[in-house]
Amino acid sequence: MSIEVNNLSWEIEDKSIISNISLRIDEGEILTVIGPNGAGKSSFMKLLSGDIETYFGEIYFNGVLLNDISIQERSFIRSVMSQSQEIVYDYSVKEIIEMGWLNRGLSNYSKDFDEAIQKIAIECSVENHLEQRFNTLSGGEKRRVHFARTLIQLWRPSGSLEPRYMFLDEPTANLDILHEQKMMKLIEKKKNEGIGVLLILHDLNLAAKYSNRIAIFCNGELVDIGKPKTVLTDKTLSSIYGLEMKIDKNPFRINYY
Amino acid sequence: MSFFSLEQKWFKFVKSSQIKLLTFFLIALISIFFLSVTLGSFDFNLRDLLSRKSDSLDSIVLFEIRIPRVLLAAFVGASLGISGASLQGLFRNPLADPGLIGVSAGAALGASFVIVVGSSFFPEFIFGTFILPFSAIIGASFVISLLYIFTQGFGYQGITYMLLVGIAVNAFASVGIGILTYISTDSELRGLTFWTMGSFGGSSWQLIMPALIIISLTVLWLIPSSRKLDLLQLGEPEAYRLGVDVRRLKFKVIISSAVIVGLSVSLSGMIGFVGLVVPHLVRLLGGVNHNYLLPGSALLGASLMMGADLLSRILIQPAELPVGLITSAIGAPFFLWLIFRIRKS
Amino acid sequence: MRKIYIFFLLLPFSIWSACDKSNDPSRVVIAGGSITEIVYFLEYEDKLVGIDVTSNFPEETSEIPSIGYVRALSTEGILSLKPSLILGEEDMGPPLVINQLKLTGMDLKIINEDRSAQGILEKIECVSKILGITTQERLNKIKNLTRDINLLQSIAKKNEDKDIRIMLILNMQGTSPIVAGQNTSGDGFIKMVGGKNVASNFEGWKPISSESIIAYDPHFIIITERGMSSFSDIESLSNTTALKFTNAAQLGKIYSEDGMAMLGFGVRTIKTALNFAEIFSK
């Protein structure tokens, strides 16, 4: 199953933000979108998330038009993590993670629930903070808590074959190198569990290392899409970023000057 | 979905310590209710009354005067408490209060309008009928409609804009009430002034019964949205992505506030600080999640209001203080302390 | 138009007359300073068990339990005094409480107020009828008062021909005076002394602009003592406010007087009016 985007276009007040983009995101793969600021990457993710109601073109989730999927149903199919807002009240870390738990009337509620929270908290390295107030955490730690929340949202009893997708806009921002690597490894793990991942990254080397495919955006258009080694060329990158770039092949590494 | 699984869900997101607290609030409420009903300026022996030994005036005072009054105080306190809690959640602003979005002012304006203009058509007896509460709800709903139009259906414009509109509406309603005060004759003024200070005096069963029923139904309608209010704290886009119909939630919270606050204001005048302060106290005692906060604020608000009414009745007996004075006297210093606490952390 | 409608509506009630003798005037609660004054005048004060805060004359009233502000009464509070009779005027309130008191079967009588000398007499007669007062002495007191009233009315009549413009101020709202318009107790008082109320173009008590004060150009200005409370004396009042520019101020024709004694329309109002009528006649 996959997400299919056909001829997607979107404009605000006669200004075109996204222009005729078509692509596919499969289950069990990581598709990373890269491109300069203002290329339309975040807008693209918003459109796929269902945040925006009117646009041109079609978006299909597992063969069903996005507009035909109810707001609640959508939350069962995909989770989204982007820039988070300040949380005004003193929720604990555990309470924030629990917010990803969806109301699906699953039986044997408590046992599964508590185990899942524990497990995911450990995966995201926040299990020591569970009873702490969320607002006392550092920026990076908060990010990991939000990530844990999106993981709980997609959590299913083992053996479930429901297709699920994860959209992440700059998930490694504010993370130190250790936790950046940990997060990417975790995303990879989830991909291997069958989740389809749409990622936006600004770090090209990170993108090259972890993505199955890369989509290159520029000025709202899809410049190229394919395997990292194929689409990441000196010529393409230098022209869209306006910066001289040279790519080493072995080990694969993007250098800029 | 069976009732059992519903309960499971509710209990899941309420800690056991919070359940204990809510039980405590309930016990406190019942205790204060009995205290308020047995104390007052009119002296009678409760035992005599219940064994029917005392004269009929005693029983009239207890059953027709005191109990309706205490019940009204409880329901108004609960309304203001839960409305404040839900608005603080909706606006993600700890300083939100039913007064802030102009609902109280709209209700006051509707009622004032009827008092001043309507007294040409219906003399004294408007005060005993449903016309006054009804016009207050109309006034409150009018404010809601304005908010709806200006924010394009409580749309995605963000809460700040709504607050600004609320402030403008408040100013407008104040002007309206000011003009009505100015043009009113002395007898009309009589009706207006007592009522801006807040009082539960004169409550009778026929006056309060419809209001109590409507308030109960509205509160029961509102409470299941508690979890959604939690999710809203992550931000409107996030809540939407988690499956919350944000527009519908805003609508629900605001309409409930309009109804219960409109009714409260029309029956007991303007009583400040309760909607602001009670939710904070409840949070301080047990936590911030709305499954606990909303019922807790209703229970604590009811208790505090009954307490304030009791004080208003006995401090200068046989005269009476306006209850709004007492809630302000206690609420204002507490509010200051609250600001200090927020600044510190 | 509105008033005529209400008059017809209330006509049947006035015919029944609130002045019927009370069955049991042994424990009386009063909400209305003028009525309290009248009860003292009739020497019936030992039956009083509760009075409102506007009942502050004579001094002995401070010993009687207070039921609070006349417009913000408490049902239970009043009932706790176990009254057999409640007397008040039209400004008793709030209406819900008055309703409730009536519904408990309380003997509650609202005394009509007509703001004139004759009206005061009727008020006194009404109260004495309710209390069942017949002894000769009290009737004599009323006779003495009637003499004062006749004197007042003759002076007032003469004053009317002189076209004396009077402005009556309740208090100062900042620097704007709150002035008696039509259908106020102040207006009634002015008419009683035979003067012409300068504020003939509005109703009720309203704040007035400096220009209007000058345009009105009253011969005399009366202000209540409480209205003067933020000023040390009449001189500072006339110097620091818009009153400065009036002829009355410059000629020293500003007078202050106890508010209840003047506007209460109780017994004291007669003497007060007589006083002023004599002053203005010169």
The residue with greater pLDDT, C151 or A107, is: C151
Evaluate if residue A37 carries a pLDDT over 50: yes
Which residue numbers in chain B have pLDDT < 50?
1-8, 156
B202 with C71: Cβ contact below 8 A: no
- Chain C residues within 8 A of B186 when measuring between CB atoms: 91, 183-184, 204-205
Confidence band (pLDDT; 50, 70, 90) for C49? Answer: very high
B5 with A50: Cβ contact below 8 A: no
Confidence band (pLDDT; 50, 70, 90) for A3? Answer: very high
Chains A+C touching (3+ CB pairs under 8 Å): no
Distance from CA of C135 to the nearest CA of B (A): 33
| Domains detected in chain A | 2-256 (3.40.50.300)
The residue with greater pLDDT, C153 or C233, is: C153
CATH of B15-25+58-344, one of 3.30.499.10, 3.20.130.10, 1.10.10.10, 1.10.3470.10: 1.10.3470.10
Evaluate if residue C252 carries a pLDDT over 90: no
Q: How do residues A213-251 score in pLDDT, each as one tens digit?
A: 999 999 999 999 999 988 988 888 888 888 888 888 777
Q: What is the residue type of B109?
A: L
Confidence band (pLDDT; 50, 70, 90) for C207? Answer: confident
- Chain B residues within 8 A of A79 when measuring between CB atoms: 241
- Chain B residues within 8 A of A72 when measuring between CB atoms: 243
pLDDT of residue B8: 47
Residue among C246, C232, C123 nearest C185 (CA): C123
B244 with A84: Cβ contact below 8 A: no
Residue A47 CB: number of other CB atoms within 10 A?
A: 23
Residue among A166, A168, A175, A231 nearest A204 (CA): A231
The residue with greater pLDDT, C132 or A89, is: A89
**B95-109: b or e for each residue (b if 16 or more CB lie within 10 Å)?**
ebbbbbbbbbbbbbb
Helices (H), chain A: 41-49, 71-77, 93-98, 109-123, 139-154, 177-192, 204-210, 228-231, 234-241
B207 with C81: Cβ contact below 8 A: no
Report the percentage of chain A scoring pLDDT > 70: 95
Q: Which one of B42, B190, B320 has the shortest CB-CB distance to C68? A: B320
Chains B+C touching (3+ CB pairs under 8 Å): yes
Q: Measured between alpha carbons, how far is B331 from B80 in angstroms, rounded to an integer?
A: 13
The residue with greater pLDDT, B12 or A174, is: A174
Evaluate if residue C8 carries a pLDDT over 50: no
Residue among B245, B289, B243, B242 nearest A149 (CA): B242
Distance from CA of B77 to the nearest CA of A (A): 23
The residue with greater pLDDT, A91 or C205, is: A91
ipTM for the complex?
0.91
Q: Which one of C76, C99, C203 has the shortest CB-CB distance to B185? A: C203
B288 with A91: Cβ contact below 8 A: yes
Distance from CA of A193 to the nearest CA of B (A): 22
Q: Measured between alpha carbons, how far is C28 from C88 in angstroms, rounded to an integer?
A: 11
Q: What is the residue type of A136?
A: T
pLDDT of residue A163: 82
Q: Measured between alpha carbons, how far is C116 from C102 in angstroms, rounded to an integer?
A: 29
B194 with C68: Cβ contact below 8 A: no
A98 with B240: Cβ contact below 8 A: no
Cβ–Cβ < 8 Å for B276, B333: no
- Chains near C with 3+ CB pairs less than 8 A apart are B
Q: Which one of A75, A95, A109 has the shortest CB-CB distance to B289? A: A95
Q: Is the peptide bond before C58 cis (omega within 30 degrees of 0)?
A: yes
Q: Is the peptide bond before B318 cis (omega within 30 degrees of 0)?
A: yes
Residue in chain B lying closest to C178 (CA): B182
Three-class HEC string of chain B: CCHHHHHHHHHHCCCHHHHHHHHHHHHHHHHHHHHHHHCCCCCCCHHHHHCCCCCHHHHHHHHHHHHHHHHHHHHHHHHHHHHHHHHHHHCCCCCCCCCCCCHHHHHHHHHHHHHHHHCCCCCHHHHHCCHHHHHHHHHHHHHHHHHHHHCCCCCCCCHHHHHHHHHHHHHHHHHHHHHHHHHCCHHHHHHHHHHHHCCCCCCCHHHHHHHHHHHHHHHHHHHHHHHHHHHHCCCHHHHHHCCCCHHHHHHHHHHHHHHHHHHHHHHHCCCCCHHHHHHHHHHHHHCCCHHHHHHHHHHHHHHHHHHHHHHHHHCCCCCCCCHHHHHHHHHHHHHHHHHHHHHHC
Confidence band (pLDDT; 50, 70, 90) for C13? Answer: very low
Chain B with chain C: Cβ pairs closer than 8 A:
121
Cβ–Cβ < 8 Å for B154, B148: yes
> Chain B residues contacting C, CB < 8 Å?
40-43, 57, 60-61, 64-66, 120, 123-124, 127-128, 182, 184-187, 190-191, 193-195, 197, 199, 201-204, 207, 313, 316-320, 322
> What token pair was written down for A93?
């870390």
Confidence band (pLDDT; 50, 70, 90) for C214? Answer: confident
Evaluate if residue A190 carries a pLDDT over 70: yes
Q: How do residues C145-200 score in pLDDT, each as one tens digit?
A: 888 889 999 998 998 888 899 999 988 877 788 899 998 889 999 999 999 999 98
Q: What is the residue type of A253?
A: R
Domain boundaries, chain B: 15-25+58-344
Side-chain half-sphere exposure of B332, counting CA atoms within 13 A: 6
Q: Which one of A95, A102, A105 has the shortest CB-CB distance to B243? A: A102
pLDDT of residue B70: 94
| Domains detected in chain C | 22-132 (3.40.50.1980), 158-281 (3.40.50.1980)
| Mean of pLDDT over chain C | 84
- Chain A residues within 8 A of B245 when measuring between CB atoms: 71
pLDDT of residue C16: 44
Evaluate if residue C5 carries a pLDDT over 60: no
Q: What is the residue type of B206?
A: Q
pTM to 2 decimal places:
0.84
